[in-house]
Amino acid sequence: MTESKIIRNVAVYLGSGKNPSPECRQAAVDFADYLAAHDMTLVFGGSNKGMMKILADAMLQRNGRVVGIFTRCLSEKLFRDDLTESIITDTLAERKAEMLRRADAVVALPGSIGTLDELFDALAQRKLRTINCPIGVLNLNGFYDPLFALLRNSKEAGLTSSKTLSLLCSGSTPEELFENFSKAK
């Protein structure tokens, strides 16, 4: 791990699209199983749709702690009132900052541009040392392989360093990902 700190709060970035695949749905449930079994709190974007809904529902069904950080610009019908804690921010930037402020670790499950935006923001802040927590992706069925190829291309072009690449952990299961967090520098 990046520091000898126990992971209690995990900021999770993931898709809110309407029709996630069965594999993505199961990955969200499996991730909730892992977090709840290890007494970790889910910190997420708070939406009541897509994988965000599936993950939060699974955590709540397991009596897990769920913190939703909503942005005012979202439709109120997406807000949840059944979470352990709900926070409303004015902007997406404030939402991202609040999620990172609370995070002992950051994980991206499969998602779209919002997920990638949040992931790259966290990586940039980790590189700049404004945060100091492990960051990783749940690489479900190679979902993030193209991202790692892009980062390798950036290194080969002399645009980034091996040290920067090492800031991003990966695992195909929650168990593997958190084991890799424990090995990260």
Domain ranges within the chain, ordered by starting residue: 9-178
Q: Which CATH class is domain 9-178?
A: alpha beta
Model confidence pLDDT, tens digit, residues 95-131: 999 999 999 999 999 999 999 999 999 999 999 999 9
pTM of structure: 0.93
Residues 167, 173, 178: CA angle, nearest 5 degrees: 45
Model confidence pLDDT, tens digit, residues 9-66: 999 999 989 999 999 999 999 999 999 999 999 999 988 889 999 999 999 999 999 9
